[in-house]
Structure 1
């Protein structure tokens, strides 16, 4: 089956689209990336999204308009990724996260009250299905949250079935705006007397979010990211600051846990700048120190929360291109080899888009898509809401695909 996976991450850079050929179910799952591309948001729309994430207020009419505008961009990405290829049968769209709140436990007098998490993704699936004429699965996180889970990370199920190894313990480390990890014990590892979960996973903390905010601030808006980590590599990390920041509450919470731009936000970045003021750091030093925070928070979480350190770390996401960040992760993990998922046959740029194509594919087969040991859900559940279309609507995609401009993206074709 040809399936499209769509996602825009917490960096709000644009929409990653993957056209994927899938077969099998879980143990025999086969994944072939046919094409992948990133389609940037129009600047004005990106600014609106970032403003909303940063607590910008909206009327309900404005909220609906933003939801539709994001859906249109996702639909255009789905149409564009198919050009020159057979028509897809299904779309799995994660949408654009604008708010994420993990579940919480509170105590009132003698009562313990559990509050479900909350996660909101815009870019409604029914609009994508209507625009493309292709059945669309969306809103993946709510079923896991309803089962008491974090609603994240959801890519761990793909990691389990595609990136597990017979003899090596692996960590698959995604570095988008936020970092998340999946720990995959060797499939043929001898059973020990003390049983541990077969798989673990959690959000490790900031990925590129603070780095991008720093680059925009330090360059007065002339740059949006640190290409290859070259600017940070010219500076010197301030280790006392890194150690101070690593004491922040989030880093001490044991998994399962998740986070987002609600915590690692512009306000958080400004607090980092205030903390750095007494050290007289250059712009390059500040960027190097924030890069070290991402690298050190990843490594610290492994040392704190894994039953044993992995034999290998596989990096994916936009951060896999930051050579300096990769070097610092390697330095913090010492002798553990740090590679990318490209090195083991799974495209590092489009792995998350591929994951939501797979989750949609599983949803149509009633196969659970979450891993309770990762998200903290009370049970495994099917993920996503299905938006069916009339068969006659499938022609709409071909009729309209040439009439709407889409923003050119970086393209990968196999």
Structure 2
């Protein structure tokens, strides 16, 4: 059913502005009214900001198992000789075809309506997806072995990075939540965009000053690795500037609001995870030195002791090398995990492992929810898979309980663990991988 709203020669329909049928768990009259209000708001914004960009057809963002990388404006970065990673890059500027607008709200309650709808989509997505660098790791290894090459570094540079809707890390999770939101409100494709993040920046002043030097963050001298990516959307609430941040890669179940004046609806500090011995709190603010960045602060509390870390999110421009730089960087990282999250972002089941030089010392940890709110957590050496035809009974029992919490069949999980053991036990591959990871770490050490 098409509902037309005419403004001059431009007509808006409900398929272009917002598809209310695709909002999850929206059954109450209040929720439907909220969606209708947002539809009208976006209709007005589209007329105001994108009058000259109406094309009559909607770009597709994802099919059943892949993403349209053109829609996300993803490109390959320049790779200088001797540099361990391609150089990051961003959309050119306000005149660029892929530049994003500022979504304006007349009142806080208008923004709250959209924020609530987006969080509903985010909660559903966190439940339905995994954070998974294990399958990506195994796929990388198998592709390398098929080439019969001996030099991993040269293969790493030419590897065609697989991006699908099954095996997610931060970049594809960011693409997934964008896709799901745009399914409801297609107009938001003009506002949502991928952003880059440099984690645990040692000196914010030095890092930010480098953006003003010749070449800025695009320079090989910037020594950035951009190991994380998320989603941003610039907003204005009654003239007050802000940005919305979505980070499903770190299991954050909130549509975080960052206001320049730090007044409501600014999110401020919130508890991301709380365990008996560790509480982790996050806070996002515009960086005082340069508002092109949002500072992401992390506070860890262990007993009476607290420690702090800061990362910088570059929100000024869309990040166009998220796959070529961030996914590639994470392929050779020395830690792997496969994790299930609930709707609020609690990680309740999974496998994780450090990648260590000596395969005889390689181990993995698996964990899952047990009866009576127990957290079951066990560690095994990878040599339990030395006989590929027989997994020890005690290991298999845990895999049997873990599999359904990972939404996997027991046999599928067992085969994945065996494949992972094959990778970990290939000493030459692991040594080369860790060497590449070290080169990246040395390159970015001053950040």
TM range (shorter): under 0.3
Greater RCO (Cα-Cα under 8 Å, separation 6 or more): 1
| TM-score w.r.t. length of structure 1 | 0.23
| TM-score w.r.t. length of structure 2 | 0.22
Query: Which entry has the higher C-alpha Rg, 1 or 2?
Result: 2
